[in-house]
Amino acid sequence: MKRHLFLLAAMAVLALAARGRADEAPRIVEIAAKRFEFVPGTITLKKGDTVTLRVTSEDVIHGLFLRDLKLDTDLEPGRTTELTVTPEKAGRFTAICHHYCGNGHGNMKLTIVVEE
C-alpha cells in the first residue's frame, strides 16, 4: 500500500514537471517593417534561447534576410509573420530587407545582437 502511494506521488511530480516545460513558451519580439526601417532597429537575443520574431509589414512587401541566423522570409503587406530563431553564436549581425521596396531600400536593416 505504501508503495502504491509512493508511485502515485512520483507520477504526480513527473506530470507537474512535464506541464512546466510545456508552459515555457518562447519569448516574443515584436518588430515593425516599413519604408525604410525596422522598428526597433536593434534587438538583443541570447545565444541558445529560442525566440519568436513577430514581424509586421505596415506598408508594402518587405523581406528579412540574415544567413547567419537562417532568416529568409517575405513580409506580406499588412500581415504578421512569425519566425522562430535560436541563435547558435554570439555576435552582432545585420539582417536586411531583400525585397526592393523603394528608394531607401538599401538602408533598411535590422541589427541583431546575440549575447553570450
Binding footprint of Cu ion on the chain (CB under 5 A): 97, 101, 105, 108
Q: Whole-number minimum distance, CB 32 to Cu ion, in Å? A: 14
For Cu ion, give the closer residue by CB, 46 or 105: 105
For Cu ion, give the closer residue by CB, 108 or 114: 108
Q: Hey, what's the torsion of the CAs at 53, 99, 77, 64, to 10 degrees?
A: 0
For Cu ion, give the closer residue by CB, 35 or 46: 35
What DSSP character marks residue 35? Answer: T
61 with 75: CB under 8 angstroms?
Answer: yes
Q: Which residues of 39-69 are buried (b: 16+ CB within 10 A; e: fewer)?
A: eeeebebeeeeebebebbbeebbbbbbbeeb
For Cu ion, give the closer residue by CB, 83 or 108: 108
- Beta-ladder partners of 27: 51
Q: Whole-number minimum distance, CB 70 to Cu ion, in Å? A: 20
Q: Whole-number minimum distance, CB 114 to Cu ion, in Å? A: 23
Q: Whole-number minimum distance, CB 77 to Cu ion, in Å? A: 12
